[in-house]
Amino acid sequence: MSAFDIRILGAGDEPRLEAFFADNPDLTLFQRSNLRHAGAVDDGRRYGGTYAAALVNDKVVGVVAHYWNGNVMPLVPSGGHDVRILLDAALAASGRKIVGVVGSWDQVAATMMHPTVRGRIAKRCAREILFALPLTELVVPQALSAGDITVRSMGDDDLPLLAAWRVEYLVEMFDLPRTATTWDVAAQDIAALHAEGRAWVVEAQGRPVAFTGFNAALPDVVQVGGVYTPPFGRARGFARVAVAGSLLRARQAGAGRAVLFTDVSNNAAQRAYRALGFEPIGDWGLVRF
């Protein structure tokens, strides 16, 4: 990248951020969804973050965001050294520690060379596959079409059960301990998804058997995340039904596209998503400290 100015963006800078993220729509669902919820102001609320931007001729050409939950999301096309320069600025402005790094694999790899995180032990460091699906091409599982299994929006009464499932998801995915802190995070995550209409429950014979949500959502595109089936229901196709059912709802609401990511070693999940019509479009990275 040629010489650029570094600026911490704030209120009023949302249009320039949106324009930059729109150039990489499938890589920036988290950023665009967070921006929609909280704007560009970092005031500590959920979805808020510090945006350190590189500008050339007053146009944004790279951004490292450091969000309320400690996650860093870099998108700096020039990569390498420039990622780390912007991360310096983001960390200085946010005053937070890095809890995780999320983004395309090359951006995550560049971030992991920063002195703040280089050498730290990660609870999870995964290279993942980014998948996408035009919702007109969604393949609906037979069990869902026949009505043998149903997918419904989460209700208030589901919160205790789904919070408990979320704890198990966090333990399995990120090796977090079953502590009060993990319970609090799980309950807050599920409550937020419920309040925003982004949580769904799969039922078989009237019994909850799986969960899915959208960890980012815009009117035209959704990002599937947090899919969880408790051990008693695994290997029965419930996760595939969960995702399909939620995407049918999204399509009915006007969305035309869905994205998700899954570990390169998770062959079962890859088969399930391909069966729904998803196709790989790139590499993804996910680190949790």
Contact 221, 258 (CB under 8 A): yes
* pLDDT at 49 exceeding the cut of 70: yes
Question: Stretch 102-115: mean pLDDT, rounded?
Answer: 95
Give the span between the Cα atoms of 154 and 21, in whole angstroms.
Answer: 30
Share of the chain above pLDDT 70, in %: 99
Provide the CB-side half-sphere exposure for 34 (13 A, CA): 25
Type of residue at 256: G
* pLDDT at 80 exceeding the cut of 60: yes
pLDDT score recorded for residue 1:
52
Total-model pTM: 0.90
CA 84 to chain centre: 22
* pLDDT at 192 exceeding the cut of 60: yes
**With 0-12 CB in 10 A as exposed, 13-18 as middle and 19+ as buried, what is 262?**
buried
Average pLDDT, the chain: 94
Lowest mean pLDDT among 52-61, 142-151, 264-273: 142-151
Tens digit of each residue's pLDDT (9 = 90 or more) over 82-106: 999 999 999 999 999 999 999 999 9
Give the span between the Cα atoms of 155 and 273, in whole angstroms.
Answer: 26
pLDDT score recorded for residue 147:
82
